Structure 1
Amino acid sequence: MLVPAFVDLVDGNRDWVVFIGSGTVTAAISALIAVATRGERFRPSPRLGFLLVTSIWTTASFIGALPFYFASIDLGFAAALFESVSGITTTGATVISGLDALPRGLLMWRSILNFLGGIGIVGMALLILPSLRVGGLALFQLESSDRSGKLLPRVNQLAAGIVAVYVAMTFVCAILYYALGMSLFDAVNHAMSTLATGGFSTHDESLGFFRSNAILAVATVFMIAGALPFVLYIRLFLPRRFQRWHDPQVPLFLALCLALTLALTATRVWINGVPIGEAFLGSTFNLVSVITTTGFVAGDFTLWSNAAIGIFFLAMFIGGCAGSTAGGIKVDRILILYQLVRAEFARVVRPHSVHRLTYGREDISLETLQRVTIFIFLFFLSLLLGTTALSICGLELLTAFSASLTAIGNVGPGFGQVVGPAGNFSSLPAPALAILSFLMLMGRLEIVTVLVLLSPGFWRD
């Protein structure tokens, strides 16, 4: 919070007091917790893991909401919490209008939330969720603990590698943005949002504000980089540890991006009559922004055609790779579910045949199949219940469904005039914003991590 405080202090904006006050309160409470637990022996367990993951992300969301609530922009608490949750879960949906006139300290705070949320997501997916057996990178799910221990470096090495790669790639992205014409402030803010696949911008028009194809191209490359497993980059620094690492979700994700981009380009050329070069660049940027759940926009793509809307609708479900900063169902689950469906079809034709289910070079266990199936069921159940709850709050059906999908998938923009790429969530009532905040957290924490806390059996001694 000292960073946006310094920005506001330089600009002569009184909100620097808000950041200093919020930071002081947060630091004081954290210090008291540190003192109170000093000398305590940490005894990790699955129940403690679930509780820590959910409580830490929830607490961080409330802390992040303090500057929005007390600043001069006059946000209600539900709206401030929504903005904070959207930032730290890297969803990118916003309730703030007039970003171009917003104090630079708040703009910086939004980008910092994206940045911290992105690195937190990667760390959680690689280091925590696999041990809780609810999500994370498929590599860790499919291998036994003994074998994983031999393949992977120690936790502190892996964590240091994640931080180094994440910061270095963000720095490179900022340099490229600055070289292509962004101001230093815009470059730093958009770089933090891009690699985190967060989508917060400093302008209402998002990246469309800059009217630069080169900037859109750089953003596309780094959005894809953020949606790939970060083990892929750590492998460059620790090649011996990952000699046998092979993840089939990476080529599948890239193939899906290419196929959907070509389909989208074809619809723009044939239906809208757009020149093929312009159609390809615009389709690539917007499709990658949606499938990686970043949420940057360069115009209202929902006005292109019904065929284009259908392609974007499909991309919102897919999401990026496991072990990345992206949201959605994730490509590894889709690949595992495809293996299951294909084997079932073959079993119908030949009932006595035996079919080996594999993910890369590893066999898929029954437990993994169960976890994938349960997650996808809960994803669509949460989408249905969220749509129903938002409809009760007064939203029309398309807006309710679109808002629920973009929240639980951590995508950002939805469909329609209210929550579409040209709109924002500011007109939604406070109960709807609270529901969407819960859905964003639940989607980011792999659903099961949150819902298990609602089970009476979890709290039973």
Structure 2
Amino acid sequence: MAGAMLLPALIDHVDGNDDWVVFVGVSAIVSSICALVAVGTRGGRFSASPRLGFLLVTSVWLTAAFICSLPFHLSEVPISFEKAFYESVSGITTTGGTALVGLDDMPRGLLFWRSLLQWMGGVGLVAMMILILPQLKSGGVFLFKLENSDRSEKLLPRFSQLATALVWVYCGLTFACATAYYMAGMTLFDAVNHAMTTVTTAGFSTHDASLGHYDQPSVLLVALVFMILGALPAVLYIRFFLPRSLQRWRDPQVFAFLATCLVLGLMLSAVRHFIEGVPVPTALLTGFFNLVSLITTTGYSTQDYMLWPTAALGILLPALFIGGCAGSTSGGIKMQRIIVLFTLVRANFRRLLRPHSIQPLKYGPSDISQLAIETLIIFIVLYFALTIAGTILLTLFGIDFISAFSAALSAIGNVGPGFGPLVGPAGNFAALPNGSLWILSFLMLVGRLEIVTVLILLTPGFWRD
């Protein structure tokens, strides 16, 4: 993070903005502290354990959120620390909700820092989900069973090689997306910024109107394609280039995700065409774009869908829950968990009809273990329990119920925009009280780190002995 701060510092220096001093200063302080810690612990030994893993993951993300908030708060733009921390958390968790206004006139260094946070957060998130959380028996990829449900068949020989491959995947997608945006009519600066926040399904924009600033269908088509690509499991791209791996390229959640986008997108477009009378091309483009933006938890917007018919809102609502695929930067419950939950319900119904039958539980070719089922149920229960608790706490700040519920739901699902007059696509989290931003920041971190990873730190048993 300290090294990354030098990039927006360079942009501000070229633009003649004094904020470059802030980025360089924070970078120097952070890198000095890191160097002291590295020297002080050199040669030290520790025993790795799941308990240490949970503590490490949560503390690293909390520390990163605090460090990354400092340039916002210390810049010449008047940003309170609550909003700076919220913006930082929203960035590194790839949520995309913003508490800042006046983006069109904001220094380019801060705009680039926001986008860079989401790109680094997205790549770091996928690496964490694939390399760390499965070992802790936590996270969506634990159910996904990356190496075919055991450790005998490695996708790549070493974790370091897999992490490097993931970085190259996102670098390639970002370059392709930036090129496509530039060819579609964006400036080079906007193309790079939006590419970083599109492939990581994050949603920060350099304009208050988001992609609605560009009244060009070509820009929306580029965003639509790369939002879908960003919501697919990152390992699929690695497997595509590996020899004899094409037969393992198929994944049930990929086809379920694409089918869900197709069905809901067609339904939303039909509502817009037949009820509102919107022309078919416009209905298809706006319907699919806004649906995919929500279901991939990217959060881009082109217009206020709160003004659409009630039937359209009913179709968009499930998108706040579903999310993309496990092993991607998307938030939400994730399609893989939904498939496993559907499999569990179907097996239970069949067992009721045929009590003596054996109903195997499978995800594709892999068996679903009892531990995976327990992990799924716990996640779903905690997901909605935290949403309800967050809604209650937000209403205590005087926020209307619809805005409070959708804000809590979009925060824990890392979606970004929600429903209601305050946090809808035409609203902004800047209007919320500062105290509510702390609640939303907590929900974003908890949702991004797969809930159990954070909540287990709050149990007395974790700190015992």
CA distance in structure 1 between the aligned counterparts of 2:157 and 2:331, rounded to whole angstroms:
26
Q: How does 1:65-104 map to 2 (within 5 A)?
A: 65-104=69-108
* Counterpart for residue 167 of structure 2: 163
Contact 2:94 2:200 in 1 (8 A): yes
Residue 145 of structure 2 aligns to a residue in which SS?
A: helix
In the superposition, the TM-score normalised over structure 2's length comes to 0.97
Q: 1:279 aligns with which of 277, 283, 291?
A: 283
Per the TM alignment, residue 244 of structure 1 is displaced from its structure 2 partner at its CA by: 3.6
CA distance in structure 2 between the aligned counterparts of 1:333 and 1:380, rounded to whole angstroms:
14
CA distance in structure 2 between the aligned counterparts of 1:54 and 1:108, rounded to whole angstroms:
25
Q: Residues 146 and 171 from structure 1, CA distance in 2 versus in 1: closer, same or farther, beyond 3 angstroms? A: closer
- What are the superposed Cα offsets for residues 284-326 of structure 1, whole Å, 9 maximum, x if unpaired? 1111100000001111112111111111111110000000010
CA distance in structure 2 between the aligned counterparts of 1:247 and 1:303, rounded to whole angstroms:
37
Contact 1:246 1:360 in 2 (8 A): no
CA distance in structure 2 between the aligned counterparts of 1:146 and 1:99, rounded to whole angstroms:
47
Aligned-pair Cα RMSD in Å: 1.3
Residue 331 of structure 2 aligns to a residue in which SS?
A: coil
CA distance in structure 1 between the aligned counterparts of 2:281 and 2:189, rounded to whole angstroms:
31
- What are the superposed Cα offsets for residues 360-394 of structure 1, whole Å, 9 maximum, x if unpaired? 00111111111111101100000010001111122
The amino acid of 1:166's aligned partner reads Y
CA distance in structure 1 between the aligned counterparts of 2:90 and 2:10, rounded to whole angstroms:
24
CA distance in structure 2 between the aligned counterparts of 1:451 and 1:141, rounded to whole angstroms:
24
Per the TM alignment, residue 201 of structure 1 is displaced from its structure 2 partner at its CA by: 0.2
CA distance in structure 2 between the aligned counterparts of 1:425 and 1:288, rounded to whole angstroms:
22
Per the TM alignment, residue 188 of structure 1 is displaced from its structure 2 partner at its CA by: 0.5
CA distance in structure 2 between the aligned counterparts of 1:163 and 1:195, rounded to whole angstroms:
12
In the superposition, the TM-score normalised over structure 1's length comes to 0.97
Which consecutive unaligned segments of at least 5 residues does structure 2 have?
none
Residue 419 of structure 1 aligns to a residue in which SS?
A: coil
Contact 1:114 1:196 in 2 (8 A): yes
The reply to whether residue 419 of structure 1 matches residue 432 of structure 2 is no
CA distance in structure 1 between the aligned counterparts of 2:393 and 2:266, rounded to whole angstroms:
36
* Counterpart for residue 271 of structure 2: 267
CA distance in structure 1 between the aligned counterparts of 2:156 and 2:237, rounded to whole angstroms:
14
Residue 429 of structure 2 aligns to a residue in which SS?
A: coil
Q: 2:234 aligns with which of 230, 234, 249?
A: 230
Bigger mean CA deviation after superposition, 132-141 or 448-457 = 132-141
Q: 1:139 aligns with which of 137, 144, 147?
A: 144
CA distance in structure 1 between the aligned counterparts of 2:34 and 2:246, rounded to whole angstroms:
37
Q: Residues 52 and 124 from structure 1, CA distance in 2 versus in 1: closer, same or farther, beyond 3 angstroms? A: same
* Counterpart for residue 394 of structure 1: 398
Per the TM alignment, residue 142 of structure 1 is displaced from its structure 2 partner at its CA by: 8.3
Contact 2:239 2:246 in 1 (8 A): yes
The amino acid of 1:322's aligned partner reads A
The amino acid of 1:139's aligned partner reads F
Contact 2:147 2:153 in 1 (8 A): no
Q: 1:453 aligns with which of 436, 449, 457?
A: 457
Q: Residues 171 and 312 from structure 1, CA distance in 2 versus in 1: closer, same or farther, beyond 3 angstroms? A: same
Contact 1:141 1:368 in 2 (8 A): no
The amino acid of 1:124's aligned partner reads M
Q: 2:443 aligns with which of 439, 452, 457?
A: 439
The reply to whether residue 297 of structure 1 matches residue 291 of structure 2 is no
Per the TM alignment, residue 245 of structure 1 is displaced from its structure 2 partner at its CA by: 5.1
Per the TM alignment, residue 139 of structure 1 is displaced from its structure 2 partner at its CA by: 3.4
Q: How does 1:142-221 map to 2 (within 5 A)?
A: 143-149=148-154, 151-221=155-225
Q: 2:434 aligns with which of 430, 433, 445?
A: 430
- What are the superposed Cα offsets for residues 190-244 of structure 1, whole Å, 9 maximum, x if unpaired? 0000001110000011111111101100111110111000010001222346754
The reply to whether residue 116 of structure 1 matches residue 120 of structure 2 is yes
Q: Residues 181 and 30 from structure 1, CA distance in 2 versus in 1: closer, same or farther, beyond 3 angstroms? A: same
* Counterpart for residue 5 of structure 1: 9
Residue 418 of structure 1 aligns to a residue in which SS?
A: coil
The amino acid of 2:73's aligned partner reads Y
CA distance in structure 1 between the aligned counterparts of 2:285 and 2:425, rounded to whole angstroms:
18
Q: 1:338 aligns with which of 321, 332, 342?
A: 342
Per the TM alignment, residue 148 of structure 1 is displaced from its structure 2 partner at its CA by: 4.3
Bigger mean CA deviation after superposition, 152-161 or 425-434 = 152-161
* Counterpart for residue 377 of structure 2: 373
Q: Residues 392 and 298 from structure 1, CA distance in 2 versus in 1: closer, same or farther, beyond 3 angstroms? A: same
Per the TM alignment, residue 34 of structure 1 is displaced from its structure 2 partner at its CA by: 1.0
Per the TM alignment, residue 140 of structure 1 is displaced from its structure 2 partner at its CA by: 2.2
The amino acid of 1:357's aligned partner reads L
Q: Residues 217 and 245 from structure 1, CA distance in 2 versus in 1: closer, same or farther, beyond 3 angstroms? A: closer
* Counterpart for residue 34 of structure 1: 38
